[in-house]
């Protein structure tokens, strides 16, 4: 990762820890202890690529700093850090333009993912700005390109389950059916949605992806259907909404099980009548949108618990595609690993050409609870650590054992209030090479509890 980060955090010890973490990961970072000092730094000529700010500051808060950035017309990805119980406030910050939020205690792997995403967005914006500049110098009409036109390589799995999935994609893509994509987290459900869009007659139209988990009950109708200026307190300008943004194309609702129940009836009406009504207006607007959804939840269980409308479920689930987990497609692991190796070479300016047989064997023995997302992270880190032109088993940061082997270790379970609790946590982390998801399974506790205990015992990772 390359970039410059501004950390805004009044807890000096925690801020110093973040500084050291960024330094170890090759990222330049500067620490400010309040909103005013951050504004001074942001007003200087030297630009920052990302702002990482605590929600609560001694002379203001992160939302005030975010609002100031918008007033100053400074377009910098803004990630807000929150404590327990402040998630709703963080979601509101996202509605005001924050790039993302992190919940304390910070999970290093989540921090890595979000910072990388923010830096990618910066580079993408710079690339887009350059393209707009180049386009303005040319008399040729601009041509809207698909992701594949920019050199993004599409990797197609060869396993039986992967082939079945791709055959379903080809079958349903040309239709107008609503498709529900189900699968575990990290399996690439949005990638499947984009494939359906790009193989449909709507490929030249917009593809709008929405994370339903970030839609609060209060703001969801505005985000989805738009609003008229002045229709409520914070409606300072007209908003079109995701449905109108996706008109003529595809609207992808990720984690649709998180859609607020109060909005589900409005969603059903919009899908049935192909019309929407923005907040503050009395006129219906025709929309031509194909709906794709994704979930890793059991929506039938949510229906039985009264959390999801059955009529909406059947409207969204005209055709279902299941994305297999990586552990079900072991024969595809080498294919994906080689792709991620090439991708990491380009990103990190490395020239790793091979993955040794022993290393590949270890990759194929892992259960991959994080699926493709986890595999990609492992390969990228292995490429970074490699000092030669190959990835060896010593370069792999985790995966000493598969989960099946780990689960056989019964001597490590964390019982309530054990005398050697800290030692058991350290032992679990060593057994899993620092993988906290696996360590939590070993300890028979949830991951959040593990993070809290790591912080409580000041365990160095």
The per-residue pLDDT for range 293-332, each reduced to its tens digit, is 999 888 888 899 898 999 999 999 999 999 999 989 999 9
The confidence score (pLDDT) of residue 213 equals 78
Tokens of 354: 């091979």
Smallest CA-to-CA distance from 108 within 457, 456, 379, 455 is with 455
- Check residues 137 and 429 and name the one with the higher pLDDT: 429
Secondary structure of residue 86 in the 3-state scheme: coil
d(CA 119, CA 122): 5
d(CA 24, CA 144): 40
Helix or strand (DSSP H, E) at 232: none
Four-way CATH pick for 326-399: 2.10.10.90, 3.90.226.10, 1.10.8.60, 1.10.630.10 = 1.10.8.60
Smallest CA-to-CA distance from 248 within 197, 321, 177 is with 197
- DSSP for 423-439? HHHHHHHHHTTT-HHHH
Across 152-166, average pLDDT: 81
Helix or strand (DSSP H, E) at 381: helix 371-385
Smallest CA-to-CA distance from 185 within 366, 363, 321, 371 is with 371
DSSP class of residue 146 equals -
Residues whose CB falls within 8 Å of the CB of residue 236, separated by 6 or more in sequence, listed in order: 229
Across 255-261, average pLDDT: 88
The per-residue pLDDT for range 327-385, each reduced to its tens digit, is 899 999 999 999 999 988 988 888 999 999 999 998 998 888 889 988 998 898 889 88
User: Would you identify the CATH topology of the domain 4-122?
Assistant: Rossmann fold (3.40.50)
Smallest CA-to-CA distance from 426 within 393, 453, 447, 396 is with 453
Across 4-23, average pLDDT: 87
The per-residue pLDDT for range 10-19, each reduced to its tens digit, is 888 888 888 8
The confidence score (pLDDT) of residue 152 equals 40
Q: How many CB atoms lie within 10 A of CB 48?
A: 22
Tokens of 263: 């909005």
d(CA 159, CA 280): 51
Contact 285, 292 (CB under 8 A): no
| Residue tagged 């924050």 (tokens) | 98
% of the chain at pLDDT higher than 90: 25
d(CA 272, CA 257): 19
The confidence score (pLDDT) of residue 457 equals 78
- Asked whether the domain spanning 156-229+238-322 has the same topology as the one spanning 4-122, the reply is yes
Is the pLDDT confidence value at 210 over 60? yes
Is the pLDDT confidence value at 127 over 80? no
Beta strand 4-8 pairing with 50-54: parallel
Query: Which CATH code fits 404-456?
Result: 1.10.10
Domain ranges of the chain: 4-122, 156-229+238-322, 326-399, 404-456
Q: In the predicted model, what is the mean pLDDT of the chain?
A: 80
Smallest CA-to-CA distance from 27 within 53, 54, 6 is with 6
DSSP class of residue 33 equals S
- Check residues 104 and 448 and name the one with the higher pLDDT: 104
- Supply the angle between the helices 35-43 and 62-71 in degrees, to the nearest 10: 30
Is the pLDDT confidence value at 97 over 90? no
The per-residue pLDDT for range 400-429, each reduced to its tens digit, is 344 444 444 444 444 434 457 788 888 888
Is the pLDDT confidence value at 231 over 80? no
CATH number 3.50.50.60 is the correct assignment for the domain at 156-229+238-322: no
d(CA 405, CA 153): 35
Helix or strand (DSSP H, E) at 322: strand 319-322
The confidence score (pLDDT) of residue 232 equals 64
| Nearest-5° Cα angle at 221, 215 to 224 | 75
Across 281-296, average pLDDT: 88
281, with CB counted inside 10 A (0-12, 13-18, 19+), is: middle
């Amino acid at each position: 990762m390359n970039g410059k980060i501004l950390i805004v955090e009044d807890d000096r010890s925690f801020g110093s820890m973040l500084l050291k973490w960024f330094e170890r990961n090759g990222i330049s970072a500067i620490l400010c202890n309040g909103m005013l000092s951050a504004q001074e730094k942001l007003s200087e000529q030297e630009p920052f690529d990302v702002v990482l700010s605590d929600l609560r500051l001694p002379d203001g808060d992160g939302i005030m700093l975010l609002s100031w950035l918008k007033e100053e017309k400074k377009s910098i990805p803004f990630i807000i850090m929150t404590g327990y119980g402040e998630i709703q406030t963080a979601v509101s910050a996202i509605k005001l333009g924050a790039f993302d939020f992190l919940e304390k205690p910070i999970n290093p792997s989540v921090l890595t993912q979000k910072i990388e995403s923010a830096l990618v967005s910066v580079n993408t914006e710079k690339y887009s700005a350059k393209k707009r500049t180049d386009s303005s110098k040319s008399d040729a009409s601009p041509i809207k390109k698909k992701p594949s036109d920019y050199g993004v390589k599409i990797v197609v799995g060869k396993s039986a389950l992967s082939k079945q999935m791709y055959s379903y994609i080809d079958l349903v893509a040309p239709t107008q059916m609503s498709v529900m994509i189900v699968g575990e987290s990290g399996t690439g459900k949005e990638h499947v949605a984009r494939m359906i869009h790009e193989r449909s007659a709507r490929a030249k139209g917009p593809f709008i992806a929405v994370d339903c988990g970030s839609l609060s009950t209060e703001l969801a109708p505005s985000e989805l259907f738009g609003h008229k200026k002045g229709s409520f307190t914070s409606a300072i300008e007209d908003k079109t909404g995701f449905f109108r943004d996706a008109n003529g194309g595809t609207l992808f609702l990720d984690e649709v099980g998180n859609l607020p129940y109060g909005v589900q009836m409005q969603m059903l009406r919009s899908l049935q009548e192909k019309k929407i009504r923005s907040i503050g207006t009395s006129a219906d607007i025709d929309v031509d949108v194909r709906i794709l959804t994704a979930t890793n939840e059991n929506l039938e269980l949510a229906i039985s618990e009264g959390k999801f409308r059955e009529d909406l479920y059947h409207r969204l689930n005209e055709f279902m595609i299941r994305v297999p987990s990586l552990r079900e497609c072991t024969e595809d692991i080498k294919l994906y690993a080689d792709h991620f190796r090439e991708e990491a070479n380009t990103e990190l300016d490395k020239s790793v050409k091979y993955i040794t047989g022993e290393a590949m064997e270890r990759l194929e023995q892992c259960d991959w609870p994080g699926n493709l997302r986890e595999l990609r992270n492992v390969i990228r880190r292995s490429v970074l650590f490699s000092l030669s032109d190959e990835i060896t088993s010593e370069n792999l940061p985790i995966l000493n054992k598969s989960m099946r082997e780990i689960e056989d270790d019964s001597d490590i379970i964390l019982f309530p209030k054990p005398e050697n609790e800290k030692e058991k946590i350290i032992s679990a982390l060593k057994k899993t090479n620092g993988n906290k998801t696996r360590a939590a399974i070993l300890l028979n506790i949830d991951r959040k509890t593990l993070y809290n205990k790591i912080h409580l015992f000041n365990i160095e990772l």
